[in-house]
Amino acid sequence: MNILKRIKISKKESCPCGSGEVFTNCCRNKEFNPPIETKKPPEVLIGEMMRKSMKKLCMHPDQQNCKGIIKGAHALQNNKIISLLAGDERHVYLMDTKRSPLIVQLDNGEQELIIEMSKTSANAATTETCFCDLHDNIAFAAIEKGAPDFDETSEIMKFIYAYKAFIFEYYKVWMSMDIFRTQFGKYPTVFSRSDMVSRYRNLQLNMKEFDSIKEHFDKKILAGEHTGVTSCIIKIPEQINFSNYAYIAPDYDLNGK
């Protein structure tokens, strides 16, 4: 991607608002709300919008059979990992995405964003509204309450742990793109700035990558299969009071390609 395309919306590309029309026939020539004035970095602005605009929707591929409320599903198991960390007080510390990050000005002129830690109830820790009650119970039954501890020989467990880490990150990326599109339709002047367009390009790349992985997981889940995922397990010889989940795109696969 050349530098100009990285920071500018082309007249002939699909409009970032998500209408399906090309930009020149859509938001480029419409009447809009007055632009919002802000000097905040795009990461902070998008983060604030996400906290106000998170949608509740089920990420399970069998959405036509959703039942129950869209619940605050746990990315880390409440009855296992979080309970171990929380102890009798039933509280843990985690990065607080509901608070605006601290913006630290560095000597080189760049800005560093620092997410503060907060004491949080175990029941509210690592939750996202991305599964209905039925599918939350079905999709993760093999690793939740009543299930044995992690078994490195269990293909089902390894598959579901990988899926759980992935789908919670997918939900946040999908939500970021949805919010960007909505806000672009309202404030194209602000969201056409070079820093915002650069953010949009990153979201486009993330969605392209995430959608292909989600397609694989969706097919396997609907077929009742647990294949296509290679796991690399690293054992720590002692217990530590820390846990994490993440999905990232490595530059190389496990075979070095």
Angle in degrees, CA 192, 20, 193, rounded to 5? 5
* Mean per-residue pLDDT, 111-132: 90
Give the pLDDT mean for 236-240.
89
Closest residue by Cα to residue 9 from 185, 175, 193, 205: 193
- Percent of the chain at pLDDT > 70 equals 90
Least confident of 97-111, 146-160, 223-237: 97-111
pLDDT score of 194 more than 80: yes
In DSSP notation, 203-223 reads HHHHHHHHHHHHHHHHHHHHH
- Tokens of residue 100, six digits: 């605006």
CB 41 within 8 A of CB 195: yes
Provide mean pLDDT across the span 233-254.
84
Long-range contacts at 232-238 (CB < 8 A, ≥ 24 apart): 233/152
**Cross-strand partners of 113:** 103
The answer to whether 101 touches 114, Cβ cutoff 8 Å, is yes
Q: For residue 1, is pLDDT > 60?
A: no
pLDDT of residue 32: 60
Helix and strand counts by DSSP (H, E) for the chain: 7, 6
pLDDT digits over 19-71, tens only?
A: 999 999 999 877 665 656 666 666 666 667 666 667 889 999 999 999 999 98
For residues 244 and 94, the answer to whether their CB atoms sit within 8 Å is no
For residue 152, give Cα distances in angstroms to 157, 224, 235. Answer: 8, 20, 10
pTM: 0.84
| Eight-class DSSP state of 14 | B
Q: Does pLDDT of 11 surpass 70?
A: yes
Q: Give the separation between CA 257 and CA 174, rounded to whole angstroms.
A: 28
Q: Give the residue-averaged pLDDT of 119-143.
A: 92
Q: What is the pLDDT of residues 59-106, one digit of tens each?
A: 999 999 999 999 889 999 888 889 989 989 899 999 887 777 788 888
Query: Is 221 exposed, middle or buried, given 0-12, 13-18 or 19+ CB atoms closer than 10 A?
Result: buried
